Amino acid sequence: MSIMVDLTVEIAGLKFRNPILPAAGPPVRDGIRIKKCIEGGAGGIVTKTISIKAADPLIPRPHMAEVRGGFLNTELWSELPPEVWAEKELKIAREATRAAGIPLIVSLGYRADEISKLVEMFDEYADAYELSVHYIGRDPTPMMEAVKAAKKTGKPVFLKLSPHPGIDYVEWAKKAIEAGADGISAINSFGPVLALDLSTPLPDYMLKGLPVMGGPDGTGWLSGSALKYLALKIVFDLYKAMPNVPMLGVGGISTGRDAMEMIMVGANAVQVCTAAILYGLNIFSKIVKQLKALMEKMGFDSIKELRGYTHKIWKKRYIRYISTPPKYYPEKCTGCKLCEISCPYDAIVVVNGKAVLYKDKCFGCGVCVTRCRFGALEIEW
């Protein structure tokens, strides 16, 4: 008997029809794209980050590229000036979100004086604000002032954290809440990083091996699947430190499983950008469908029940420091040899189409379990 799964979620007084939102970026670059995200199944809307001046023509081209295991970009804020957003794009977005019965979160950047002007321009449209602090340095004071500037409207404010090396993101999040933020969005893209192009045909006089990104040094910012595990760790730590603070998990979400994992470690909802670029705007409904199916399979009936589940069962996990061989189910083994190829201890060998596990050689590392595609190996907790 299947359970009834409730995917609605309330965050800082905002009611979302499901927990899958777009992240600030190209998929929500204007009103028409926002409408398409809603039609694609998004549970709420976050706009592209709007600043006091348009980013174009400051964006070096090319500025987006799929790379192995991830995605690179040199995206800045919105290419449209705030006046265009106020006069046209947010009107379209507001009409579409009201028709769908979902919230409109306007993403703003970057300094307090700029945000003060922008909230005056946009407050008739916004249900809440998300603040990007990607470019304002490592001193939390400007971030706190930005939060205070947005909070003058009385509407919910979410502070978006960037994973800069050396920054204590838990302390930054606490500072944001201290300044009045209602929740945290984590994380932004990571970088700078570098990827080279060895495949694009070029004239004979040009050498391959150029960076895939434009700009003075060819570097970009990493997003997509490669970012997921960093994002999971940061959201996990934030929830552990501040379990009652609402959180929007961002980074590497492209499937229902990704969304479930992010909610399990502490997010109330998730945001999707790279997957919407790579797979189209129907990705929102696909993730929703997959998430619902997974929740039904695992017995969760609501996002509220799912949120933070990993923390609830953490103490039941048995940590050991001795070799414990995995459980082996020969009837499920197909003889594919992935386990044999990957075992650095020569503890598992395929003989006559079935794996043979030598427990005396096994170090208990677990890699064979993660490599098996058929459930023939299982960690014994």
pLDDT value, residue 215: 86
Residues 346, 205 share a domain: no
pLDDT value, residue 285: 98
Residues 224, 80 share a domain: yes
Residues 354, 257 share a domain: no
Residues 292, 188 share a domain: yes
Q: How many domains does the chain have?
A: 2
pLDDT value, residue 381: 75
Residues 357, 229 share a domain: no
Residues 322, 300 share a domain: no
List the CATH number of the domain containing 322.
3.30.70.20
Domain boundary among 271, 298, 314: 314
- Please calculate the CA angle 92-52-217 and round it to the nearest 5 degrees: 110
pLDDT value, residue 79: 97
Domain boundary among 270, 289, 314: 314
pLDDT value, residue 203: 64
pLDDT value, residue 3: 80
Tally the residues of the chain.
381
Residues 52, 162 share a domain: yes
Residues 335, 286 share a domain: no
Residues 126, 269 share a domain: yes
Sorted by sequence, the CB contacts under 8 Å of residue 21 that are 6+ apart come out as 42, 43, 44, 45, 46, 105, 248, 269, 270, 271, 272
DSSP for 90-144, written as a single string: HHHHHHHHHHHT--EEEEE-S-HHHHHHHHHHHTTT-SEEEEE-TTS-S-HHHHH
| pTM summary value | 0.94
Low-confidence stretches of the chain (pLDDT beneath 70): 1-2, 134-137, 200-207, 318
pLDDT value, residue 205: 53
Establish if 2 belongs to a structural domain: no
Nearest to 183, CA basis, from 364, 380, 370, 12? 12
List the CATH number of the domain containing 243.
3.20.20.70
Full residue range of the structural domain in which residue 213 is found: 9-314
Establish if 339 belongs to a structural domain: yes
